[in-house]
């Protein structure tokens, strides 16, 4: 029996020593000893791992992420944004007697930092390619990691949402806005410059047409004309932010359905995740991106445009949830432009896909020929659908604004 116990203990120690992610996790203020680490989720930018640690009372779970230093070059400023925002939300939740177990928290390293720049043995092992199961991002100046608590009872929905699920996502993102209503957005760093500056996006589009590096412009004359003819959309929100006619707020900037965790039993939103693009901007951006990605019957890269239609039913469900939390906080000008925000964000995303297609697919990951072209066509189809029903969309916005205003 003694030999068996020693054999088991030896293999546990060997596994801890051999698994480089255990070494990474152990440099943070974790409870217990790590015994499990595997890739988690399907994010495209960073690498995410579920880490489990054994404690005297059972086990504790964490989310370990390798930050993509190629995309986010200033990791320090990125993490300052995330820590400031999550700390503020936590403070508001405590003051409101809410369940703080649902709060996303950044766990510091053992030397008190918000992230780890690993240049040790674990970096050498992971960077060598000997652990393909971890799919690590290679880097010459070390690997960058952060650690979060694992939020239980919520999942990010990867499939098309039901009406109830989409309304729940609206509640989640609206509460995110409400929590940060008292936060000074001007202190946030710009992690991706001009991310939703549609004027700059249009200038990049023009340059891509002029350079035509892949000799593709001749194949997409119709698409170019459709996007170029809507140039007047590009400066609307940018100008209003600059003039102060609409407030500059904290914005998430990636409000896809799977970035809010939802309890599928209660259909209550649990927490908002993926905060890398948290910056200052307009509430119209976040609302619009949710509608762009969620209020549609087809996939973002659907080839058959007859399957891609804007759903007023889903739009109404989202507006209902959104206004139930924010009706008294959203300004008159924001209300007036809320439906337009959905058109603008869909237009901007399609413009980016078309620009990348013209530049020979250098930014968005593509998995087939003309992948970006298929994407840009679906976005324009949604833009055209929304333009046709914009009066009805505005009617829905004001219906729920009035319903929930006190």
Give the tens place of pLDDT for each residue, 102-112. 899 999 999 99
Cα–Cα distance measured from residue 10 to residue 116, given in angstroms and rounded to the nearest whole number? 29
Alpha carbon dihedral 371, 372, 373, 377, in 10-degree steps, equals 110
The predicted pLDDT at position 11 comes to 47
The predicted pLDDT at position 8 comes to 45
The predicted pLDDT at position 122 comes to 74
Cα–Cα distance measured from residue 214 to residue 251, given in angstroms and rounded to the nearest whole number? 35
The predicted pLDDT at position 18 comes to 66
Residues β-bridged to residue 61: 52
Are the CB atoms for 254 and 289 separated by under 8 Å?
yes
The predicted pLDDT at position 128 comes to 66
The predicted pLDDT at position 16 comes to 45
The predicted pLDDT at position 47 comes to 92
Closest-CA residue to 126 (of 109, 113, 142): 142
Are the CB atoms for 329 and 317 separated by under 8 Å?
no
Structure tokens at 192: 């991706």
The predicted pLDDT at position 15 comes to 47
Please tell me whether residue 265 adopts helix, strand or coil conformation: coil
Distance from the Cα of residue 277 to its chain's centroid: 7
Residues β-bridged to residue 342: none
Integer CA distances (angstroms), 327 to 144, 281, 330, 335, 402, in order: 40, 19, 6, 9, 8
Residues (pLDDT < 50) of the chain are: 1, 7-16
> Residue 285: which residues within 8 A CB-CB, separation 6 or more?
196, 237, 251, 253, 341, 345
Are the CB atoms for 100 and 90 separated by under 8 Å?
yes
> Residue 267: which residues within 8 A CB-CB, separation 6 or more?
164, 165, 168
Structure tokens at 216: 């593709």
> Residue 272: which residues within 8 A CB-CB, separation 6 or more?
104, 172, 173, 175, 176, 252, 259, 260, 261
| Beta-strand pair 58-67/47-55 | antiparallel
Alpha carbon dihedral 139, 18, 109, 66, in 10-degree steps, equals 40
DSSP string covering 86-126 = HHHHHHHHHHTT--GGGS--EEPBTTS-SSEEE-SHHHHHH
The predicted pLDDT at position 10 comes to 43
Residues β-bridged to residue 198: none
């Amino acid at each position: 029996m003694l030999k068996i116990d020693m054999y088991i203990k030896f293999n546990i120690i060997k596994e801890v020593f051999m698994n480089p992610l255990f070494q990474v996790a152990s440099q943070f203020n974790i409870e217990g000893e790590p015994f499990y680490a595997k890739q988690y989720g399907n994010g495209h930018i960073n690498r995410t791992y579920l880490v489990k640690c054994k404690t005297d009372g059972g086990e504790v779970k964490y989310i370990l992420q390798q930050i993509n230093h190629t995309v986010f070059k200033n990791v320090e400023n990125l993490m300052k944004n995330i820590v400031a925002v999550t700390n503020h939300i936590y403070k508001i939740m405590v003051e409101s007697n809410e369940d703080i177990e649902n709060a996303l928290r950044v766990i510091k390293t053992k030397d008190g930092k918000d992230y780890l720049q690993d240049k040790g043995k674990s970096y050498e092992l992971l960077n060598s390619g000997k652990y393909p199961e971890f799919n690590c991002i290679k880097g010459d100046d070390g690997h960058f990691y952060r650690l979060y608590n694992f939020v239980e009872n919520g999942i990010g929905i990867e499939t098309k949402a039901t009406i109830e699920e989409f309304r729940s996502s609206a509640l989640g993102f609206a509460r995110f806005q409400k929590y940060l209503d008292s936060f000074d957005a001007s202190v946030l760093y710009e992690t991706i410059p001009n991310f939703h500056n549609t004027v700059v996006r249009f200038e990049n589009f023009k340059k891509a047409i002029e350079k035509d590096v892949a000799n593709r412009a001749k194949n997409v004359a119709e698409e170019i004309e459709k996007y170029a003819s809507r140039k007047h959309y590009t400066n609307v929100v940018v100008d209003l932010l600059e003039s102060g006619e609409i407030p500059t707020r904290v914005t998430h900037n990636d409000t896809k359905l799977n970035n809010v965790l939802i309890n599928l039993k209660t259909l209550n939103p649990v927490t908002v995740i993926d905060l890398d693009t948290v910056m200052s901007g307009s509430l119209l951006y976040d609302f619009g991106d949710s509608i762009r990605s969620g209020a549609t019957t087809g996939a973002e890269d659907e080839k058959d445009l007859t399957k891609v239609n804007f759903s007023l039913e889903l739009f109404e469900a989202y507006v209902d949830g959104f206004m139930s939390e924010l009706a008294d906080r959203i300004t008159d000008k924001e209300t007036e432009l809320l439906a337009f925000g959905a058109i603008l964000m869909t237009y901007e995303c399609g413009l980016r896909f078309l620009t990348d297609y013209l530049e020979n697919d250098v930014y968005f990951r593509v998995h087939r020929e003309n992948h970006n072209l298929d994407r840009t066509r679906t976005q324009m189809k949604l833009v055209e659908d929304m333009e046709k029903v914009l009066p009805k969309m505005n009617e829905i916005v004001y219906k729920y604004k009035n319903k929930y205003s006190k």
